Chains A and B, each alone.
Chain A
């Protein structure tokens, strides 16, 4: 029965598809590395020939210039490395605020776009079509050179209750100064956050098990506000406000939102929100109308339908393109250079590059940073996407 098949003729090794595949990969790898090394070597040789300094030693030498906005202590005696962190934080600040604000505005406009109220949906449409189709740089210039330039001079500031001042130099806000004992308030706040999370979990489990609802929202709110406020009072109000004061040329003290940042943030938010609004609309419309009808016939109100039935399903459609918009917003924030906001491109890839002349290093670092930020945002959004994605059973 067992009839031996003739032993297969072994093909020569260069015809073996497996070996071939590996061989070609290896060749490709070697060529790529060789090309890379060639470019690296060529660059090094050219820099040496032109007598241009290279390397990263410049990061520790003093910068010698001041920066208008810094989230960490900085002065002209700080190092170029410090400038990098100042600039990076400025980029992250405007991006993070922009992402939050654009998301809020985008969701509101996107839902308004689907409103049954004719006026609201038309207004949303006009907003989207206008701001989506004007170049972002132009919008930044509009806010910076047209709108915020119309503010009064420091001595004629708009005054809100002697606490908040608005003028052409920015919006001046009182700054909190924490006294000893404020740590207790922070601790109390931390405890309430943990408590709230535990409570919410318990409430969800109980509802799943028994169907009884728990007024989680109002109780959580009361907890979150109540306990820290109580501690604050018990600790003897360990917080004073530093009010901005007009001294000489400018207001001093307090917090200031400079117009460079305000106009950049406004433009980024308003521009990106239009795209987010369209994404939200598309996401909602992607949920079959049958779901709404089923939910309404089960007796859910239309707001509950939106919150519990439509949005969770719409999010699956919304998240991936939303990630794109977040990445765009972050990268678009580099237009800051046009209006003098000290972001990474303006302060580091601009001023530092120019003062040191080390173009390759500065640009390489900047590119690496934007790549890292983008990858991090993508990672976070992918993680969230997996959480809300449809689990098929």
Chain B
């Protein structure tokens, strides 16, 4: 390995300084640019999907909320569609300010890869999508199957783990784009498509004959999906983190985009603090004092963005399940605004 090492060291010298020093803080740069650079998926209905030149989805709404928090205007965003393989490097190198692209929170991404997950927008788990014709009822019957999977994902690793623990033979085909996986499943190049369950439902809608495919009951992993920022800028990290918490708290307190103005008259001190009527909790973030109210008004609370994009108000019709509020049997829980 030694000659190679020397060689590569030399090559590194030739590389331009990747991620050249960022001048000032992320927030300063964003304010100077006048927009937030947000990395989203390259096409996943419900999460981020471009339709008629407009991005829609729960991941997109998280970015919109951050823009509303910073600028008071949810449209001040530049979206960058990224494949699973590109996304983390794009964030590390400063090409985007925040990555909101159904990305799983893991220890190595938090540590070795120099990233910070700001919370969980969607509690997910990995599943399998198969053609009904195969007559498969359980993932345990997949011995010897050819599986399509997206390159550079946690899914790819879980897949290998699952087949290894169950002593099954695996033939994986890894594509950069989820569309290619879906096309391959339809053509029969692979027997199974594996991904986070939410994505499987989204992918299924895009198939020519969605009814011919089923999602197997097994969920083989924990996939907490959430927005990500770079290590090393705590102020920016706090803003993105609390934008999500604000939306969850708003749902818990019954504040939504329609009633936010009325709620400002509420006597509940929690609501008053959230909406910036009482105290200066908003200012502590270096933003306008009422930024939380603006986020709720312009984008909505967590329940609203969930239902609108992936829940009952969308073609996906996904149940709240794990993503219900903590006091309704789910896992969504936000620290208090205080």
Contact = CB atoms under 8 A, between A and B. Distances in A.
Chain B binds chain A: yes
Nearest to A251: B144
A52 B92 contact: yes
Q: Is the interface of A mostly helix, strand, loop or mixed?
A: helix
Nearest to B174: A340
B327 to A, nearest CB: 36
Contacts of B111: 51, 53
A368 B112 contact: no
A368 B21 contact: no
A67 interface: yes
Contact of A360 (B4, B12, B164, B191): B12
Contacts of B183: 145
A45 B19 CA distance: 11
Interface in B78-99: 84-85, 88-89, 92-93
Nearest to A35: B13
Interface stretch (B44-52, B145-153, B253-261, B313-321): B145-153
Interface in B155-171: 156-157, 159-161, 163-164, 169-171
Contacts of B109: 357
Interface string A45-72: 1110111110010010000111110000
Nearest to B141: A248
A342 interface: yes
B37 interface: no
Nearest to B233: A50
Interface residues of A, number: 61
A49 B232 contact: yes
A220 B122 CA distance: 71
B174 A46 contact: no
Given A65-B160, A360-B18, A368-B8, A342 B187 contact: no
B4 A340 contact: no
Nearest to A250: B144
Interface range on chain B (Cβ under 8 Å from partner): 35 or more
Given A50-B231, A51-B114, A368-B7, A64 B161 contact: yes
Interface string A367-378: 110011000000
B156 A168 contact: no
Given A53-B112, A357-B92, A359-B89, A39 B16 contact: yes
A228 interface: no
A97 interface: no
A259 B113 CA distance: 34
Given A169-B146, A360-B18, A66 B172 contact: yes
A45 B21 CA distance: 9
Contacts of A66: 159-160, 163, 170-172
Nearest to A367: B11
B15 interface: yes
A45 B18 CA distance: 11
Given A76-B164, A260-B173, A365 B8 contact: yes
A254 interface: no
Contacts of B23: none
Given A350-B151, A351-B85, A43 B15 contact: yes
Given A66-B160, A357-B109, A340 B13 contact: no
B164 A363 contact: no
Interface string A138-177: 0000000100010001000000000000001100000000
A68 B189 contact: no
A350 B153 CA distance: 11
A301 interface: no
Contacts of B159: 65-66
Interface string B1-29: 10011011101111111111100000000
B8 to A, nearest CB: 4
Contacts of A25: none
A36 interface: yes
A207 interface: no
Q: Is the interface of B mostly helix, strand, loop or mixed?
A: mixed
A46 B161 contact: no
B146 A43 contact: no
- Residue among A50, A68, A351 with max Cβ neighbours from chain B (10 Å): A50
Contact of B157 (A43, A46, A64, A353): A64
B15 A365 contact: no
A52 B156 contact: no
A59 B2 CA distance: 13
Contacts of B145: 248-250
Contacts of A361: 8, 12
B131 to A, nearest CB: 10
Given A50-B230, A153-B188, A168-B188, A39 B143 contact: no
Contacts of B15: 39, 43, 360, 363-364
Nearest to B163: A66
A342 B188 contact: no
Contacts of B13: 36-37, 39-40
Interface in B113-159: 113-115, 134, 142-146, 151-153, 156-157, 159
Given A46-B17, A52-B92, A338-B176, A368 B232 contact: no
Contacts of A249: 134, 142, 144-146, 191
Contact of B17 (A43, A77, A250): A43
Given A76-B161, A365-B8, A368-B7, A340 B175 contact: yes
17 contacts: A39-B13, A42-B20, A43-B12, A46-B19, A50-B92, A64-B160, A65-B157, A66-B171, A153-B188, A249-B191, A259-B189, A350-B151, A356-B108, A360-B18, A364-B11, A364-B15, A365-B8
Given A68-B173, A169-B146, A357-B115, 10 more contacts: A65-B159, A66-B159, A169-B189, A249-B134, A351-B152, A351-B156, A353-B85, A354-B152, A360-B15, A360-B18
Interface of A: 36-37, 39-40, 42-43, 45-47, 49-53, 56, 59, 64-68, 75-77, 81, 145, 149, 153, 168-169, 247-250, 252, 259-260, 337-340, 342, 346, 350-351, 353-361, 363-365, 367-368, 371-372
